[in-house]
Structure 1
Amino acid sequence: MTSDIEPAVSFRDAVKRFGPVRAVDGLDLAVASGETVALLGRNGAGKSTTISLLLGLTEPDAGDVRLFGAPPERAVLAGRVGAMLQDARAVPRVTVRELVGFVARRYPAPMPLARALELAGIAELAGRRVDRLSGGQVQRVRFALALAGNPALLVLDEPTSALDVEARQAFWASMRGYARRGHTVLFSTHHLEEADAHADRILVIDHGRIVADGTGEQLKRSVGGGLVAFDLAGRPARGLDRLPGVRSLEVRGDRARLRTDDPDATVIALAGMGAIRGLEVAPASLEDAFLTLTSSVTEAA
């Protein structure tokens, strides 16, 4: 991103308080146009408040929030932003076609209705009443509503929470197709594998602050370590958690899983014990990185 181009999303030292709690605490971030960015955080970390500030649903107590260089309200009214939120409710007694078409007409340059329904994977549901759809189908209607204004920025809050595996795969295929057209996507999720697979960049938020910013691979490398697993073959698991580098031990059936800061040292110790049956060594996962990054902030707070 060059300095003379306004980012799609910009937070500068943004603060939002609820009584004594700083839900957003001096947040600084920038998302360039065309990026697909995942926002990760535990419940209460500040994700929902950050999204509310981004969409202009609430005002910061301090600092500044901009979309395409303008206040969020202006970008939303101009149809440059589409949002898919968790708490939206189905509208009774209207069809999918009627609802998405009504919302699209509120924007100056909407996406063609057929295209929005197709991208959301609900073209075959166009004539169905929204209040008679399943939870997963309603979630896809919400996606169509987010697309209706043909936005440059798409904000998705837990977009696959009500979808089965097949529907989740179809959703991400649609999202990637939309992003490839040069659009910006920012999504929050509890599915870490989705962030790893579909985001160009991952932001980890905790206690209202960004504690990590990078690709999935960068975040995994930043915490080091990995997983060492092997078959116990009747051997007792007692004492394995005291091997060099090991920080946690989990036993699943006859298989031990060791989370370790030094996989080489752990493997050498296991080899010395003759415990190498079915040995598996894997690098740190995004889940490992997420837990390490957020737990360190919690311990320091």
Structure 2
Amino acid sequence: MLATLDEPTPVYSILRSPAVARLHSVTKRYGAITALDTLNLAINAGEVLALLGPNGAGKTTAIRLLLGLISPTAGSVRVMGRDPRDSATRTRIGAMLQVTRVPETLRVREHIDLFRSYYPHPMSVAEIVRLARLEGLEDRFFGKLSGGQKQRVLFGLAICGNPDLVFLDEPTVGLDIESRRALWAQVRELAARGKAVLLTTHYLEEADALAHRVIVIDKGKILAEGTPAQIKTRVTGRRIRCVTDCDHSWLRALPGVADVQPDRDAVVITATAPEAVLREMFLHDATVSDLEVSTAALEDAFLALTQAQA
């Protein structure tokens, strides 16, 4: 039974599915620079895997290896059990990359027809248009589209071949909130169909919403791996955001406070026992306002992991 769009397939079920792509003990060097250092990574059927890391962490190198654009210095790369450079393997891969450029003088339908012709068993035009939400844009010239519309076309071109493995590199850049949420639904649908999706994004709430599993890398090594919930447990405590006259140094000295950061006219406090902290704050400042208490976000865990590495 397939999971619904609101109920993703449990991770334990996905991890039992066969690995669609794998990096095994891969090292990649560019001269004296080591971009990846004995990295192990697997992407499973029906999984959305978010690969996160700061700029220069090695994400692009990992993707280029899996696409067969470069070769490892050491270790092995396999996609569908084969060398990713094999022509038969390439026809089962789709990619939406930041470096993608397509002619602006072709109409959207012409682009779709052209890309479909590259694959032996392409997805139907109607299905591509539906999944990428391109209804009404088919006869528009690509160069006349807005930035968000162009992103939707590039997503459509990435799935033209009905691929088993899809690379999505910053897929929602330039999209408004409604279009971003709609694309999230389409990514979930791809995973529900058994496709493996490798997602890179700087919108960490996007990774939190979409990913079955998250891998955080830096300096070519894995810092953390697990579900978004498991990654977030790497940050102890919850967040308090409020407007207060309490001095920041006084807040930092309170028991259980791990961090205090200004946020415009407010302050964000990370604490293991926020209730006790708030009781002290109310005694010290009766004017506390705009109060929010939340669990740690994926962004907090990401920053904690990468700052600790630095």
Name the CA shift for 1:283/1:275 in 2 (closer, same or farther; >3 Å).
farther
The 1-side partners of 2:16 and 2:146 are apart by 46
Conservation of the 8 A alpha-carbon contact between 2:15 and 2:44: no
Tell me whether 1:250 sits opposite 2:261 in the alignment. yes
Match of 1:140 in 2: 152
Conservation of the 8 A alpha-carbon contact between 1:78 and 1:107: no
- What displacement does 1:246 show? 2.7
Residue deviations 1:97-121 (CA, integer Å, cap 9, x gap): 1111111111110111221122111
Tell me whether 1:199 sits opposite 2:211 in the alignment. yes
Amino acid at match of 1:8: V
**Among 222, 226, 233, the residue aligned to 1:221:** 233
- What displacement does 1:262 show? 5.2
Q: TM-score, normalised by structure 1?
A: 0.90
Match of 1:63 in 2: 75
- What displacement does 1:267 show? 4.3
Tell me whether 1:21 sits opposite 2:29 in the alignment. no
The 2-side partners of 1:218 and 1:125 are apart by 41
Match of 1:80 in 2: 92
Residue deviations 1:186-212 (CA, integer Å, cap 9, x gap): 110000000101111111111111111
Conservation of the 8 A alpha-carbon contact between 1:78 and 1:108: no
Name the CA shift for 1:250/1:68 in 2 (closer, same or farther; >3 Å).
same
- What displacement does 1:277 show? 4.1
Decide which moves more: 253-262 or 177-186.
253-262
Identity %: 43
| C-alpha RMSD of matched pairs (Å) | 2.4
Decide which moves more: 221-230 or 113-122.
221-230
Amino acid at match of 1:58: I
The 1-side partners of 2:88 and 2:296 are apart by 39
Residue deviations 1:264-300 (CA, integer Å, cap 9, x gap): 66446546646694554322111111011111122xx
Conservation of the 8 A alpha-carbon contact between 1:96 and 1:129: yes
The 1-side partners of 2:266 and 2:202 are apart by 27
Structure 2: unaligned runs, 5 residues or longer: 1-12
Name the CA shift for 1:76/1:216 in 2 (closer, same or farther; >3 Å).
farther
**Among 36, 45, 67, the residue aligned to 1:33:** 45
- What displacement does 1:165 show? 1.4
Q: TM-score, normalised by structure 2?
A: 0.87
Name the CA shift for 1:4/1:136 in 2 (closer, same or farther; >3 Å).
closer
Residue deviations 1:160-206 (CA, integer Å, cap 9, x gap): 11212121112111221222112111110000000101111111111
Name the CA shift for 1:90/1:276 in 2 (closer, same or farther; >3 Å).
same
Conservation of the 8 A alpha-carbon contact between 1:76 and 1:82: no
Match of 2:124 in 1: 112
Structure 1: unaligned runs, 5 residues or longer: none
Name the CA shift for 1:21/1:245 in 2 (closer, same or farther; >3 Å).
farther
Conservation of the 8 A alpha-carbon contact between 2:246 and 2:281: no
- What displacement does 1:45 show? 0.9
Match of 1:92 in 2: 104
Match of 2:65 in 1: 53
Amino acid at match of 2:238: G
3-state secondary structure, aligned to 2:304: helix
Residue deviations 1:44-77 (CA, integer Å, cap 9, x gap): 1111111111111111111111111111122765
Match of 2:220 in 1: 208
3-state secondary structure, aligned to 1:222: coil
Match of 1:295 in 2: 307
**Among 171, 178, 199, the residue aligned to 1:187:** 199
- What displacement does 1:263 show? 3.9
The 2-side partners of 1:270 and 1:16 are apart by 51
